[in-house]
Amino acid sequence: MTWEQALQAWQTNQPPRHYLSITDLNPKTARAVLDLAHAMKRATRQGIELFRFERPTAFALIFEKPSLRTRVTLEVGLYQMGAHGVYLTQNDIQMGKREAVMDIARNLGRWVQGVIARVFYHSVLHELAQFAGVPVINALSDHEHPCQALADWMTIEEYKGNRPLTVAWVGDGNNVCHSFMLLSALLGHSVRIATPEGYEPDPQVLQQARAWGSVYLTHDPEEAVAGADVVYTDVWVSMGYETEREIRMRQFAPFQVNEALMRHALPDAIVLHCLPARRGEEITDAVLDGPQSAVWDQAENRLHTQKALIALLCHSQGQNP
Ligand code: CP
Ligand code: NVA
């Protein structure tokens, strides 16, 4: 896939103005991002960039929560494409405290060509999108982590090719689960989700995913993992939920991804984790460091998928005429 082919596929299939949720994509725009990301990875490894911004281009990178992968891959990816990222923490701009979100959005829109934000409340992303006048990208909210899901599926395709698969999510029905479940269904795969009672995915997200494809919900991790091609887990205590740590540790204990659980999956199943991992909690060292683990490729692919997304989203809106 060349850049021109990807752009054509993106532009002719109702591209979104912002990327706040997997629901901003359709099967064709999702395919365009993933195909371009695969091509960009191959090209970057040969020292070639398939897309570079021609005009001076800057992005605001708002982070209300900590980050390793998302921040580094965004900053490095923008650099590789000839753009600049301005990193802003909650300490710097104090969204909603020092200044109203809508005013911050209006200011940023006068200086930068895109806003990428990691926020506590998903509604803040909608407000940024309403007032910024430039594309807004969700770098994780309490509700979704749609940049992560693109890297997840790029990784799965590298290992498994482009065929219908059964993917299992084990643990919290959280932000990462929502985006992964939605994109899996959108791309035509079968999803199985095992959570403790009370930690199921949001019913509306579940309903949307089921409108697109098959999603099976259970409270039994072995049932979810049985015969699966992919086993995915995430921390039991997401950022913002630290006060629930004690009770969650008890309730999630049977949902650890360990070698015993992995024996229920297909022998060539891969293991995903968005990272950071709490070793010995949701996943054991033996699995994370074992032969089925694809987590380092998954982390690398954050770079390529975000570059593809930013290039398509921002170019198609005339930010790089
Ligand atoms: N997976 C992920 O988003 O990692 P960071 O929180 O380190 O960005
Ligand atoms: N669910 C985790 C993902 C971190 C990348 C969190 O929100 O903290």
Nearest CA to ligand 1 atom 3: 70
- The reply to whether domains 3-144+300-315 and 148-294 share a CATH topology is yes
For residue 99, what is the DSSP state?
A: B
pLDDT at 219: 98
pLDDT at 247: 98
Domain limits, the chain = 3-144+300-315, 148-294
What's the 149 CA to ligand 2 centre distance in angstroms? 12
User: What is the CATH architecture of 148-294?
Assistant: 3-Layer(aba) Sandwich (3.40)
Tokens of 306: 């975000």
Which residues, judged by CB distance below 6 Å to any ligand atom, belong to the binding site of ligand 1? 67-70, 140, 148, 274-276
Please pick, among 145, 189, 192, 304, the residue that the annotation labels catalytic.
145
- The answer to whether 126 and 153 are in contact (CB under 8 A) is no
What's the 98 CA to ligand 1 centre distance in angstroms? 26
Ligand nearest to the CA of 176: 2
- What is the rounded CA–CA span in Å between residue 108 and residue 118? 15
- What is the rounded CA–CA span in Å between residue 120 and residue 123? 9
pLDDT at 318: 56
pLDDT at 320: 44
Q: Is 143 a catalytic residue?
A: no
pLDDT tens per residue, range 198-251: 999 999 999 999 999 999 999 999 999 999 999 999 999 999 999 999 999 999
- What is the rounded CA–CA span in Å between residue 261 and residue 280? 14
Strand partners, 216: 192
Sheet holding 190-194, edge to edge: 215-218, 190-194, 166-170, 230-233, 270-273
CATH of the domain spanning 3-144+300-315: 3.40.50.1370
- What is the rounded CA–CA span in Å between residue 254 and residue 270? 20
Using 70 as the pLDDT threshold, list the residues of the chain that sit under it: 316, 318-321
- What is the rounded CA–CA span in Å between residue 75 and residue 116? 11
Q: How far is CA 132 from CA 16, 105, 109, 119, 267, in A?
A: 15, 4, 5, 16, 48
